[in-house]
Structure formats: C-alpha cells, structure tokens
C-alpha cells in the first residue's frame, strides 16, 4: 500500500518509490531518496530487509506455481515493478498463470501498465488494500480472476503499513472468506525485535508516512486466523524455505542472521 492520489507527486515521498530506491531501482525522486538515505545512513544494514523480503516472495511464488494447481495471483500493495515480478516468476513455471497487481501509487499504475501492456494475463489495478471490496469487485480483477477457483493472495510487506485502527486482520479475513478452499496466502511483515533498531525504524516510517507497525510473531499469526500456516511457520524471511543457492548455505553451513534480517518474517498459509 502506498500514498493515495490520482497523479504522481514528486514532492511527497512514496513508500513504493522508497522501496524501489532501496532495491536499487530508478523509479524514484529526490524526496524518496532522502528518506531511503536515512535508512542507509542512520540504520546501516537495514536495506537487507528489502532484499530478504523480495527473495522470499520470489521463492513463495515459485513454490505455489510448481507445487500446487493455483494459477491465479492477487498481489496486494505490489509496489513498483522490479526484477522477477510475481507474473514473471509464476508464468516462468506456469505460463497460464493470471496475476492482478494492486496499489494506490499512480506511478505503479503508469509503470506497471507500460510494462505489462503485452501480457494479456496480467492487470494493474489502482485501489487501496484497506478497501478490499473495491479490489475484489474491480472490473479488471473480475476479468482475470475466477473466485470460484483457488487464488494466491499476496500480502508482501504491506500489512505492516496498515495501522491497528485500520483493522489489518479484517482485511485478511475479507479475502479468506471470499476465496475457496485450497487458496494460499503469502504474508511478509516487519517483526518486532524489541530493540533500538526496531524502534528507530518504526519512528522514521510513522514520522514520514503516518504508518509502519512492527508486530510480534503472535500478532502476525493472529492476522492469519482461520488459515493453516504451513512449514516452516512464521520465520525470518531468509529462513523461509531457502533454496540450494541461497547465500545462507553457500558455504555448506547456516550463517547467523543480521539483526535486520531477523526483523522481516515470511509465512505461507492455506485455506482448509
């Protein structure tokens, strides 16, 4: 989820563009880089959160596409296109996969539609994840997604931008109640470390965007109530089903995670 508005504002920072900057992208403005540089300068190592999250998302999409029959994906709060987007990963393994990207940032809409204009199985919807009915009933969503068949609902690094009073559990529950059995939910989320790094990063986000909520493992699990959380459970993103080329095991053994890598967790759940 990002800033609301119908036009691109280069003077106001955007969560999507700051994230793009931290990942090494070029679709950002000076105001976004200024916020990103706060993390780079004052919280050295924090950029690892963005990369760990992205890598876990790529692995999750690949596993859904290769080990299940699910061929429909709704990516909520998708952010700006970057390397190995959900549709690229899913369609690499299952070309018939259909993907709907959802974000409120108008730049995501512009860049996403330009990138995807040749891909008839992909749509970009401008809507707010906090209004799931708007997303679910959008004509582009309904054109591509058959809600009578299992769907993969993606909450990658978005629910921590939904404050408690905006009912993040209710958002997940809405989707849980409207997809059939056998649907999957991928969630990655800032994890409270009860340490100075967590507190400072949370303050930066709240001061800049008015949102950014680190939650405990128990609070994150509560967001997935009614779903079966699959192995290995809610774990730091680098430890979520790492593949054989993952850097954690490049030397044949598991290295110790940095404090930042421990502050983003991932989980995959299934609707029974």
Among 105-109, 117-121, 246-250, the minimum mean pLDDT is found in 246-250
Domain presence at residue 3: no
Domain presence at residue 189: yes
Looking at residue 3, its pLDDT comes to: 39
Domain presence at residue 66: yes
Q: What percent of the chain has pLDDT over 90?
A: 53
The predicted-structure confidence for 68-88, as pLDDT tens digits, reads as follows 999 999 999 987 766 688 999
Q: Is the distance from CB of 122 to CB of 95 less than 8 angstroms?
A: no
Strands 122-126 and 98-103: parallel
What CA dihedral angle connects 83, 241, 233 and 229, to 10 degrees? 70
Local confidence band at 229 (pLDDT 50, 70, 90 cut-offs):
very high
Looking at residue 265, its pLDDT comes to: 96
The rounded distance, in Å, linking the Cα atoms of 61 and 152 is 9
User: Is 70 exceeded by the pLDDT of residue 246?
Assistant: no
Domain presence at residue 6: no
Contacts of 68 (CB under 8 A, 6+ apart): 150, 182, 184
Looking at residue 4, its pLDDT comes to: 39
User: Is 50 exceeded by the pLDDT of residue 7?
Assistant: yes
Q: What is the pTM of this model?
A: 0.84
pLDDT, mean of residues 129-138: 97
Q: Pick from 5-9, 36-40, 157-161, 221-225 the range whose average pLDDT is largest.
A: 221-225
Q: What six digits make up the tokens of 88?
A: 């690229």
Q: How many domains does the chain have?
A: 1
Looking at residue 165, its pLDDT comes to: 93
For helices 106-116 and 15-22, the axis angle rounded to 10 degrees is 60
Q: Is the distance from CB of 42 to CB of 54 less than 8 angstroms?
A: no
Domain presence at residue 251: yes
What's 115's domain CATH number? 3.40.50.150
Which residue range(s) make up the domain with 104? 15-270
Looking at residue 254, its pLDDT comes to: 62
The predicted-structure confidence for 175-206, as pLDDT tens digits, reads as follows 999 999 999 999 999 898 777 777 777 777 77
Q: What six digits make up the tokens of 127?
A: 């809507």
The predicted-structure confidence for 8-56, as pLDDT tens digits, reads as follows 777 787 777 877 787 777 778 888 888 878 777 767 677 788 889 999 9
Domain presence at residue 41: yes
Domain presence at residue 8: no
Comparing C-alpha atoms, which of 185, 203, 191, 129 is closest to residue 160? 191
Domain presence at residue 39: yes
């Amino acid at each position: 989820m990002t800033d609301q508005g119908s036009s691109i504002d280069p003077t106001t920072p955007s969560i999507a563009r700051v994230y793009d900057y931290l990942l090494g992208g070029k679709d950002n403005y000076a105001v976004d880089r200024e916020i990103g540089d706060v993390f780079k300068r004052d919280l050295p190592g924090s950029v690892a959160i963005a990369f760990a999250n992205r890598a876990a998302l790529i692995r999750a999409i690949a596993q859904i596409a290769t080990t299940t029959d699910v061929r429909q994906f709704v990516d909520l709060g998708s952010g700006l296109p970057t390397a190995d987007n959900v549709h690229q990963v899913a369609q690499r393994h299952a070309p018939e996969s259909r993907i709907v990207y959802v974000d409120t940032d108008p730049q995501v809409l512009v860049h996403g539609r330009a990138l995807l204009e040749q891909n008839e199985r992909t749509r970009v919807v401008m809507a707010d994840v906090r209004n799931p009915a708007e997303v679910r009933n959008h004509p582009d969503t309904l054109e591509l997604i058959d809600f009578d068949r299992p769907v993969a609902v993606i909450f990658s690094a978005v629910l921590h931008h939904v404050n408690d009073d905006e009912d993040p559990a209710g958002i997940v529950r809405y989707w849980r109640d409207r997809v059939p059995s056998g649907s999957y939910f991928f969630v990655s989320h800032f994890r409270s470390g009860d340490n100075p790094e967590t507190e400072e990063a949370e303050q930066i986000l709240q001061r800049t965007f008015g949102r950014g909520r680190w939650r405990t493992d128990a609070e994150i699990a509560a967001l997935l109530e009614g779903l079966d959380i699959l192995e290995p459970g809610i774990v730091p993103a680098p430890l979520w089903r790492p593949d054989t080329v993952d850097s954690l095991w490049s030397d044949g053994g598991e290295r110790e995670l940095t404090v930042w890598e421990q502050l983003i967790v991932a989980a995959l759940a299934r609707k029974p």
